[in-house]
Amino acid sequence: MTLGGLASLGIEVLNSESLKSGVSISGTIGLDLSRNIAANTAANLAANFAALAGINLTNTAPIALPSAILSGVAALCLAVQLPAIALLLSRLLRGPFRRKPLQPSAPDGALLGAVSVIIPTLNEAARLQPCLDGLSRQSYEVREVLVVDSHSEDGTRDLVKQAALQDPRFRLMTDDPLPIDWVGRPWALHNGFGRMAEESTWFLSLDADTQPQPGLVASLVQVAEAEGLDLITLSPQFILQYPGEIWLQPALLMTLVYRFGPAGEAGAAAERLMANGQCFLCRKSLLAALGGFSSARHSFCDDVTLVRNAAASGAKVGFLDGAKVLKVRMYEGAAETWKEWGRSLDLKDASSLGQTLGDLGFLAAVQGLPLLLTVLFASIPWNDSTPMIGGALALNGTLVLIRVALLWAIAPSYDLTKGQGKWLFWLSPLADPLAVLRIAISTFQRPTQWRGRVYRQ
């Protein structure tokens, strides 16, 4: 995958004074089911937030449904959403106790030549150069950089050859023909693992669209050695440029935050671990014990699949905040983000059917529906309101407020210096229903094409 999937998640904002002024969530959620809370708190929240999107709730036609039906809908929402918000808060409130973001580190002579870097490529000429440049600035921890190319036809190979003329650590190789039962990315990484230097003790894979910052490799290996970690993946800082992606991408990212909590925390069960294969550091001995990437050969989210397999075998793994040492420019615009990133964020290839469907229902309850339900219940005339409707309005208004507050938490995960329409980031909660819809579509579809390759169902 690509975490959809994942970012510098400073969830500490949930305990900040700015959030407490809206609603106290550091302790028990105070849900007064009275009409006053419904009208004065959640309704005002819905009106103010909807105004950002040009929606005037004061002119919205009242919902013409019997009170009994509306109360039944509200009761159903409360029954489903109250347990869901409790689960959500149990994840988000772990943020203040997570590991702090990874910092760039100075070179360490004890790690001389410890790392082999593998980059899988297939027609990446438009995005590869910043990755090559960033790796050339890494210190002597890097023994070699193997670019495993899958017969690119766009000049990718020429870029690697040019880099090799300036830095002898770079080496171009071509992977073997893709077997019918493998996905292309894990196959390329598996080939690179098989050809890495015997002397290297660490395997580091980077995607072609990443932009390694100075000190990345040194900080990764030093933290792994100091903390006894066998495998580390990083959440990067995302570079966004175009208005549509600035609006949509944070909503897709939030589907991962809601399901798995912030990067940098520890203690999750193997089946609930999150990972990001854009930057994947693993002990060579562990990867050999796992059979390379063979256990993830069918997976379109091979990173999460392999990390969960490693953790289940007893390995100590970490998903850390890498926004200060790694940037990534993933997709060009909203359409490509929707198509390419959205189809792997369901993580069904690394999860059981029950877990996948449960996560989808959870996302609908806490991210996909709250804004819509807040507008719905706020549109009900005062005379038709009931305590049940007021409670559902207050609960969904609280979920919207949490989502808005999290914008400040995830802001460090983004580089918008070249962004067009940066203000759209702050309207990304309006894209939440679409983001959850994208996860739902992906849940029930398996990709047939990826990076120019066609796969059988």
Encoding tokens for residue 136? 């050339």
- Domain shared by 157 and 167, yes or no: yes
- Domain shared by 145 and 190, yes or no: yes
Q: Model-level pTM greater than 0.95?
A: no
For range 30-36, the mean pLDDT:
39
Looking at residue 32, its pLDDT comes to: 40
Long-range contacts of 331-337 (CB under 8 A, 24+ apart): 331/245, 332/241, 332/242, 332/245, 333/242, 333/244, 333/245, 334/242, 334/243, 334/244, 334/245, 334/247, 334/248, 335/244, 336/245, 337/244, 337/245, 337/248, 337/249, 337/252
In a domain, 375, yes or no: yes
Cβ atoms of residues 2 and 341 within 8 Å: yes
Q: Which of residues 87 and 41 earns the better pLDDT score?
A: 87
pLDDT digits (tens, 9 = 90+) for 254-310: 999 999 998 877 778 899 999 999 999 999 999 999 999 999 999 999 999 999 999
- Domain shared by 219 and 70, yes or no: no
- Domain shared by 121 and 216, yes or no: yes
In a domain, 3, yes or no: yes
- Choosing from 278, 299, 324, the residue where a domain stops is 324
Long-range contacts of 72-78 (CB under 8 A, 24+ apart): 73/392, 74/377, 74/386, 74/388, 74/389, 74/391, 74/392, 74/393, 75/388, 75/392, 77/369, 77/373, 77/392, 77/395, 77/396, 78/388, 78/391, 78/392, 78/395
Collapsed DSSP state (helix, strand, coil) of residue 211: strand
- Domain shared by 145 and 43, yes or no: no
Residue 58 has pLDDT above 50, yes or no: yes
- Domain shared by 289 and 306, yes or no: yes
- Domain shared by 145 and 288, yes or no: yes
- Choosing from 276, 307, 324, the residue where a domain stops is 324
Look up the CATH number of the domain holding residue 117.
3.90.550.10
- Domain shared by 77 and 88, yes or no: yes
In a domain, 457, yes or no: no
Q: Considering its fold, how many domains does the chain have in total? A: 2
For range 162-184, the mean pLDDT:
94
In a domain, 456, yes or no: no
Q: Give 449's pLDDT tier (boundaries 50, 70, 90).
A: low
- Domain shared by 242 and 355, yes or no: yes
Domain enclosing residue 350, as ranges: 1-104+238-267+325-450
Q: Give 59's pLDDT tier (boundaries 50, 70, 90).
A: low
- Domain shared by 399 and 349, yes or no: yes
pLDDT digits (tens, 9 = 90+) for 340-368: 898 889 999 999 999 999 999 999 999 99
For range 331-344, the mean pLDDT:
91
- Domain shared by 305 and 164, yes or no: yes
Using alpha carbons only, give the angle 361, 264, 184 rounded to the nearest 5 degrees: 70
In a domain, 455, yes or no: no
